[in-house]
A and B are shown apart, each in its own frame.
Chain A
Amino acid sequence: MSLQPPDAAQRIWMLTQMLRIRTFEERVKRTFTDHPGVIRGHTHLADGAEASIVGALSHFRAGDAVLATYRCHGYPLTLGSDPGAMMAEIYGRADGLCKGLGGSMHLTDVRHGFLGTSGIVGAGIPHAAGAAWAAQIRRRGEVVFSFFGDGASKQGAFHETLNIASLWKLPVVFVMENNGYNVVTTTSQEDASAAAGEPLAVKARAHAMPGVTVDGTDPLAVHAVVGEAVERARAGRGPTLVESKVYRLSAHGNIIAPPGVPLHYPEHEAIAVFGKRAEYEAALRGDPVPRWRGVLVQNGMLTPAGADELTARVLEEMERAVSFALASPFPDTACALQYNYA
């Protein structure tokens, strides 16, 4: 069975989802200046990873499951979660996806197959394998997508899980989004493979599974590579490690300041820590969202006016999400003691 390249409708769907993620993240970021104090705590944005998220999740089918890290806004958006409920969760409001108990780092939407996240680097990887074990037992050809960053591949949980997943031929696709940075440490400073000039996908070899590196800013490339991994998993032939190379276009997360000092997004670490403005600007020139729009317009799949209209519709959708979240009440304090067996 060979993988079909996405048709025009799918390609436009990809652009739509990429625009939705980008615009949602811009609204999160702007909340810090437009509505100071509304976001409390940590947020981590997916801008720059849109093509990777959308290319991978273009293979999602009902019954599949997705688990991810704390940089988690892009996945549920793509899977169909309501952006208003997501924004309300990020604002800590009663109408949030998790009723204000989870926050930006712990978005969960079971109805759309998004089984949650871990704020602990690498910790979600074994849970994805467990979900895949349950899928293997159900025998309906369902797969699990496990998303994590390059930093997680230095955790014990990563290696332990890849070993079991490969040994048991679990239907899971491990998508490592390699954005080149652990907060302020570059991958080549902390990863032996990277320091030796090797792709991080080589780590798959130790666990007897395919490891593929792909340009994560190209949705078609990700679609092809993840598509093959998903087919392999659905067919019962086991997991694949996909290293998807992206560049996060925002800093690791918003500044966490002592009370009284407004939270905000600082400059990207490439500039703020390493003084490499040229590196950051090159990444901006390669921004996957305008690039993909350009490709679709150039290929005649969208007119410039059609693309503008799509952009405007998405902007309106995300502005509605912000308004909904701002209007949502704070949770009833009694809610703090719910959902806890005691």
Chain B
Amino acid sequence: MKKFWLVFKHEYLRHVLTKRFIFGILSVPFFVALSIGLGLLSVILSTDKRPVGIIDHSGVLADPVIYPEKRDGAIPFTTFLFFTDAKLAQVALDNREIQGYYVLEPDYLTTGEVSLTAVEASGPGSEGDFAALLRANLLKNQPTELRQRMLEGPEVTIHSVADSRSVSPDNILGLIMPIVAGILFVVAINISGGYLLQAVVEEKENRTMEIVLTSVSTDQLMAGKIMGNLSVGLTQLAIWLAAAVIGTLFYANLQSDAGSVVMIRSYLAVLALTFLPAFVMVSALMAMLGATATEAREAQQISGLFSIPIFMPLWFITSILEHPDSALAVGFSLFPLTSPLTLPVRVAISTVPAWQIGLSLAILVAAAFGAVWLASRAFRLGMLRYGKRLTLRELLRGAA
């Protein structure tokens, strides 16, 4: 058991302590934050903060209500300046004191016509604010509740028939989170698998295998390698998730109504139950590849056979989200390579029958056991065959 920990520690630290790993782990949240930051910065920088002029001949904006007086976000509500006639507004525009000016004609209420004069052909980017201002002032004499409803529109919440889960536009995170978390998990599985593949092939390539095998049992060696490399993937995942949570808290207020709590709980439970065997299955398959292939490059090429199906549900994600109970979605939930990404997403957005969850998990666990069996067999048969590939037939039939 002691040697298992030594192998575990060696496998874990040799990846985690490399510059490549640290760079890789930091680069994803860094580039995400950077691209969001740059996007926001460019919007802020490109926003013209000068006021916009209004000449009101219609009287709609006499004694105006400025609505909304303030709003959330990086871009403030446009400031409006009222001019008595167009000449004064034109002077202000010529002096670049204002972005442009709107003129409401006396018959605005009947025609709805408004003219805008601006330096740039595209006009100031404040049409929305001007329209909001007009609406607020047209409705200012209406009862508060009516005015509020007309200004804000309906807030639609979609309720699932079976339970209390709900997805509303405000709870969009509840919809995106399972997909994002699923992708992160699958990425972590692939990274771990990749490290494991590399670790096994490398020992064959650099001929360390025999020295190690005369020091530690194959079981302890394999277990240490699998757990060590899985932990590398989990470390990566934990750091990314932490970054995602911090990022989410920073940019949005997390909804904490009862529905989303129920959803997150059941989603997390299925996610955990799915990903544990998935992790073991993919790692064992990668270890098997490493043991059967003759060199790292060849093994990496073949590993696509496993990693492509794992990501395949993403190609059909729209269909899965729209029809979570379709034959395609159910099929993906049952096939062990596609279920890690499909099943948790389905559980998050719809009511999946218990038998499907049970069957899916059972198949996944069976596949994980099968993969470990194949991996240890491949390892024993293929570990000392330098330059000679182990065939599938030998793997299924041969004796160590």
A and B, one complex? no
